[in-house]
Amino acid sequence: MGKIAFVFPGQGAQYAGMGKDFYENFQDSREIYEKASGILGVDLPALCFEDNENLNITEYTQIAMVTTCMAMLLQVNKSGIKPDVCAGLSLGEYPAMIASGVMTFEEGIKVVHQRGKLMQDAVRPGVGSMAAVLGLDNGTIEKVCDETEGIVIVANYNCPGQIVISGEKEAVERASETLKEKGAKRVLPLNVSGPFHSPMLKKAGEQLNEILREITIHNPDIPYVANVNAEYIKDNKNIRDLLGKQVYSSVKWQQSVEKMIADGVDTFIEIGPGKTLTGFVRKIDKTCKVINIEKTGDLEKLQEVPLC
C-alpha cells in the first residue's frame, strides 16, 4: 500500500466564500474561524465569506487561507485517514506544520499574521514584481536570471514547464524579455504586492525568525517537507531558520513532490481553496492519485482512499 500526503495551497488560491459551507455545517470548523477572530481581532468569517478588498491584501490573505485550511482539515481528519507526510506551498507550509504537530493553531495563526505584515511592508509598491514562465526548462531560466542585471531569481519551482521568477521590477522585465527570446511559451506578470521569495525580502525573513523564537516549536508528530530544501523535517532543530529563509528563498515545490513520490507517496490530498496543487502534482506524475478538498461535498471523495 502506498503512502498518503496532505498538501496545502498558498497565497493566490483565496476567493470570497472559501470555507463558508464548512463554517455553516460543522461546529468545530466554525470554532476555528471564531478562535482566529478572537486571537487576531479580525472578523475572519466576514474576511473569508464576503466580497471585500482585504482578502487580497497579504496581511489578511495569509490568515484567511490558514484559518480556512485548518477548518477543512478538521473534517478530513474525521475520515480516519492519516497522512504519512505533510507539505504546503509557501504559506501552505504553515497549515502543513500545524497538521504535523510542529505548532498549535493558536500560535501558528499569530505567526502567520506577523509574517503577512512583514512581507507586505518589506518592499515599497512598484519596486518589485513577479512573473510566471511557461514552457521553458529550469536550467535555462536559472541561467537567464543569473545573467540578468539586477535582482531576479526563481521564486517557485511549481511543476515541469511552470516556474515563477521574482525580484526588482526592471530586472524581472529584462529577464522576461530574454526568456521569451529563449523560447518560453508565455511569460505572465503576476498581480502581487511584492517580490516574494526573493532576496529583497531577506530583512523580513530575519525579522520573522526573531518572532518564531517567541513560540514553541515541537518535533513533528508527522514528518513534513520544507520548501527551502525539499527535505523531510523530522525534528525541531532547524525549523525556525528554515521558515525565516523561506520568505526570501526559492520554493522547491516540484522537488518536494518528487521527494515524496520517491519515498512511496502515491496519494495526495489537497486541503484548502482551489485545485492549484492538484494540477501541479498531476503534471509532475500522472500516475499519482490526487484529491482536492475545498467544499463539504468533496469529503465524499475520501471514501476512495483506503484506510491504513
Query: Per-residue pLDDT for the chain (308 aa), expressed as one digit of tens each?
Result: 689 999 999 998 999 999 999 999 999 999 999 999 999 999 999 999 999 899 999 999 999 999 999 999 999 999 999 999 999 999 999 999 999 999 999 999 999 999 999 999 998 888 999 999 999 999 999 999 999 999 999 999 999 999 999 999 999 999 999 999 999 999 999 988 789 999 999 999 999 999 999 999 999 999 999 999 999 999 999 999 999 999 999 999 999 999 999 999 999 999 999 999 999 999 999 999 999 999 999 999 998 887 65
Q: Are 121 and 153 in contact (CB under 8 A)?
A: no
How is residue 86 written as a grid cell?
505533510
Q: Which residues are catalytic?
A: 90, 197
Say how many C-beta atoms besides its own lie within 10 A of residue 100's C-beta.
Answer: 25
pLDDT for position 192: 83
Q: Are 131 and 189 in contact (CB under 8 A)?
A: yes
pLDDT for position 125: 84
pTM: 0.95
Q: Which residues pair with 4 in a beta bridge?
A: 267
